[in-house]
A = this chain, B = another copy of it.
Amino acid sequence: MILHGYFRSGAAWRVRIGLHWKGVSYQDVALNLRTGEQTSAQWRARNPQAMVPALELDDGTLLTQSLAILEWLEETRPNPPFLPADPLARARIRAVALAIAADTHPVQNLRVLKRVEDLAGPDAARQWAQDTIATGLAAVEALIAPHAGPYAFGTQPTLADIVITPQLFNARRFGVDLAPFPLLLAAESACAELPAFQAARPEVQADAV
């Protein structure tokens, strides 16, 4: 398999964690988001969203969208699992994953912030990112409160942790105060001990600058 990604893309990072978690070996091919490689006609012909990540299977099939790729990994390689068996627990974990992957990350991605900067300047864009991330993390801190410790949902890491870890990295990049989110920080610390999370960190990727 080939993972088309970028070392600092939060969405690609999620898939890297998932691949290592499931013990899938893969080749990493980086698209430099800063120079716009993901918007080339060549890449757009493969992924019409002009985004990363995309997972290329051995027959050339390209899977897109980090959460769809993670669900596919879970269905085709059930162990060790990202999600418990209980449907209600799965729903709660997916809700946290989506609170970040749908309502937070896409609202503060490079494309959106560039547009805010064009409309209202760099300070407005930075404030936009900070507010978007802080709002999302505050909601997730409250959503996991009845379940957390040490991971977002108890004593086993789940899909929620896969999504939380890259979002906290993004929060720091934009200078968000993380003191109000002790449960998220605890989950991140617990995950940092796990080999799959260690191998997926941006700074150890081949394209890290």
CB distance from A199 to the nearest CB of B (A): 23
State which of B50, B90, B103 has its C-beta within 8 Å of the C-beta of A106.
B103
Cα distance A202–B72 when bound, in Å? 33
A204 at the interface (CB under 8 A from B): no
B68 x A98 contact (CB < 8 A): yes
Interface residues of A in 16-73 (CB under 8 A from B): 48-51, 61, 63-65, 67-69, 71-72
A186 at the interface (CB under 8 A from B): no
Residues in B with CB closer than 8 Å to A50 are 139
Q: Which of A112-120, A148-156, A171-179 contacts B (4 or more CB under 8 A)?
A: A112-120
A49 x B99 contact (CB < 8 A): yes
Cα distance A76–B75 when bound, in Å? 17
A94 x B106 contact (CB < 8 A): no
A91 at the interface (CB under 8 A from B): yes
A102 at the interface (CB under 8 A from B): yes
A residues contacting B by CB (< 8 A) are 48-51, 61, 63-65, 67-69, 71-72, 75-76, 87-88, 90-92, 94-95, 97-99, 101-103, 105-107, 112, 115-116, 119-120, 124, 128, 138-143
